[in-house]
Amino acid sequence: MPFLGQDWRSPGWRWVKTEGGWKRCEPFSPALEDGNNQLNDISHTVIITGDDENEEVYNAEDCEFAAKKRKKDHFRNNTDSQCFYREKWIYVHKESTKERHGYCTLGEAFNRLDFSSAIQDIRRFNYVVKLLQLIAKSQLTSLSGAAQKNYFNILDKIVQKVMEDQYNPRLIKDLLQDLSSTLCILIRGVGKSVLVGNINIWICRLETILLWQQQLKNLQMNKQVNNGLTLSDLPLHMLNNILYRFSDGWDIITLGQVTPTLYMLSEDRQLWKKLCQYHFAEKQFCRHLIPSEKGHIDWKLMYFALQKYYPIKEQYGDTLHFCRHCSILFWKDTGHPCTASDPNTCLMPVSPQHFIDLFKF
């Protein structure tokens, strides 16, 4: 039977008794696997994934101290590894009870919810990127070491996805800019007292971010080869209807650069007026009126002026939801085991900022 205890020979190592005495097993070796088949009955699993996407599954309850020691050594030897739980919902508790001790932190929630898979869903992609951007601005130092490693692992997958699919690179550029600014301040200022891990690791991460920024800067959009119907072939009223569907002014400007016709439609005063009315209140208009040369209100300049002072409405295809009855945080389309008689009345959509606010004590 393998020895799991802590003694003078090597605290935290696993030992197997042989004819010649006790033999130490190396972590993740075949001997360790062969001698411990009883670990297959897993009640709570932790998945450790590296770049090669090979998974090792271990029982977090049976091994306790020895497992924690092995995981810590594995993380130190493999800086690209990631620790996360593949869960679709979590219970958010803010204080200790008889049933649960401690409380749920932002880092724990970030690890347990499957954000790594969420970025592959186009409905959740912008939501996850916005959440990472908010964390980069103010909450990076509040994450645990495992959560910070998970953060950069997910960020790496996001950048690779954008490089392959060329989906919304502007959003990722803003995220990387905020993250690099934060890290520069922390590393040059009080990095040793607030950053988890060796300062050299953070310098390497900063260099990686700068490399990502350069790659996105040099990103070339693939030209679509299609002999069928194109965007320019659509009638004017349909093109105008497409522009009215956008909720971001920068998206309208970008689309207007495609063809002269789209540029003409993107400069429509009524389009920018509707956009301002959607995001801002009338009282806010009065404080920042910008008349044009002809005496009319320049709604396009108004939009970008108001954007500097007031937050705009956020739209996402799929968001996290919070159940007030069960105190459970979950993805809307996956649901959760609710005990309320009418679950729909207890649901509350959670924006990225609200997600962070849930874990402020």
* Residue 15 near residue 25, CB atoms below 8 Å: yes
Query: Residue 81: is its pLDDT beyond 80?
Result: no
Q: Kindly list the distances between the CA atom of residue 251 and the CA atoms of 198, 246, 259, in Å, as whole numbers in the listed order.
A: 40, 7, 14
User: In 214-245, which positions are buried (b, 16+ CB within 10 angstroms) versus exposed (e)?
Assistant: eebeeeeeeeeeeeeeeeeeeeeeebbeebee
pLDDT band at 17 (very low <50, low <70, confident <90, very high): confident
Mean pLDDT of the 161-176 span? 88
Domain range annotation of the chain = 105-218, 267-309, 320-358
Q: Which residues contact 296 (CB under 8 A, 6 or more apart)?
A: 269
Closest to 183 (Cα-Cα) out of 201, 168, 167, 171: 201
Q: Kindly list the distances between the CA atom of residue 123 and the CA atoms of 53, 128, 170, 251, in Å, as whole numbers in the listed order.
A: 24, 10, 17, 17
Least confident of 146-150, 190-194, 271-275: 190-194
Mean pLDDT of the 173-185 span? 90
Phi-psi region of 281 (alpha: psi -120 to 50; beta: other; left: phi over 0): beta
Mean pLDDT of the 85-96 span? 72
User: Residue 189, Cβ neighbours under 10 Å: how many?
Assistant: 10
Mean pLDDT of the 267-296 span? 81
Mean pLDDT of the 295-311 span? 84
Closest to 163 (Cα-Cα) out of 222, 216, 120, 224: 216
pLDDT on residue 34: 46
* Residue 215 near residue 159, CB atoms below 8 Å: yes
Query: Residue 157: is its pLDDT beyond 90?
Result: yes
Between the two ends of the chain, the Cα-to-Cα distance in Å is 46
Least confident of 51-60, 281-290, 301-310: 51-60
**Between 351 and 288, where is the model more confident?**
351
Tell me what percent of the residues of the chain surpass a pLDDT of 90. 15
- Containing 209, the helix (H) or strand (E) segment is helix 199-217
